[in-house]
Amino acid sequence: MRPTINVTEVRNNLSQLGRAMQALTDKDAYIGIPEDKTAREKAGDTGISNAYLAYIHEHGVPEKNIPARPHLVPGIQDIQDKAVKLLEQAAKQALECKPEAVDSALNKIGLLGQNAVRARFVNNDWPALADSTLDYQPLHKNDQGVALTDKKGKPKRKKSRRDRERTNPLIDTSQLRKAYTFVIRKRGSR
């Protein structure tokens, strides 16, 4: 009878495991309006940023008759269950020494969040716009901000939101909605 020999190869994946676990705890997905996306096109004299405008509409300003139209917090709440499942899967893969799974999961969560927040601008139960807002006809201005006039000297006006069929609150130019995105950053970095 011949003796049998069993050979077992043992690998030390401790360094890979450490990198994977660090990737899991070292990064976050941030959903919102990043600093470089906060400027508005043709903000006019107000100079108001998308981030400031989003805060106003998220919380409302009762003294200015601006009702709260929350979109960020409810949008994030809409994806919480999916995000937890993605992170659980990423953690399992990180334990299998696959740190790239963490980045993939964070990107998926960021995209889900971005889309959920943007969807809240269309699917919501916000208070309707006031008739005065819907019927307001803004002045037609040139590139320098000067109001244009007709041959009789009367100021030219643009069509109202109602005439343009743009009656959904916060969607006129869609600048605010499109400003919402996501970034993946290391914890503690700006």
Give the model confidence (pLDDT) of 72-128 as tens digits.
999 999 999 999 999 999 888 888 877 788 889 999 999 999 999 999 999 988 888
Question: Do 139 and 61 share a structural domain?
Answer: no
137 and 77 in a single domain? The answer is no
pLDDT of residue 181: 95
DSSP conformational letter for 45 = T
Query: Are 148 and 105 in the same domain?
Result: no
Q: Are 75 and 119 in contact (CB under 8 A)?
A: yes
Within a domain: residue 8? Answer: no
Is the pLDDT at 43 greater than 60, yes or no?
Answer: no
The model's pTM: 0.77
The per-residue pLDDT for 12 is 63
147 φ/ψ angles, rounded to the nearest 5 degrees: -65, 135
Can you give the pLDDT at residue 108?
96
The whole-number pLDDT of residue 44 equals: 54
Instruction: Tell me the per-residue pLDDT of 126-154, one tens digit each, with 9 for 90 and over.
Output: 888 889 888 999 898 988 888 898 999 89
Q: How far is CA 56 from the centre of its chain?
A: 16
111 and 50 inside one domain? yes
Do 35 and 98 lie in one domain? The reply is yes
Q: Are both 56 and 119 inside the same structural domain?
A: yes
Residues 70 and 46 in one domain: yes
**Among candidate residues 182, 189, 12, the one with its CA nearest the CA of residue 103:** 182
Rounded Cα–Cα distance for residues 72 and 189 (Å): 22
Residue 1 has pLDDT above 90, yes or no: no
Which pLDDT value is given to residue 115? Answer: 97
Please give the sequence-ordered ranges of beta strands (E in DSSP) within the chain, or none if there are none: 27-32, 181-186
Count of the separate structural domains present in the chain:
2
Same domain, 156 and 62: no
**What's the mean pLDDT when you consider all of the chain?**
86
In a domain, 80, yes or no: yes
139: which strand partners? 157
Strand intervals (E) in 6-142: 27-32
Examine the domain organization and report whether 79 and 117 are in the same domain.
yes
33 inside domain: yes
Per-residue confidence at 25, pLDDT binned at 50, 70, 90? confident
Residue 23 lies in a domain: yes
> Out of 23-27, 64-68, 101-105, which region has the weakest mean confidence (pLDDT)?
23-27
Q: Which domain holds residue 73?
A: 17-127+171-186
Statement to judge: residues 58 and 115 lie in one domain: yes
The pLDDT of residue 11: 61
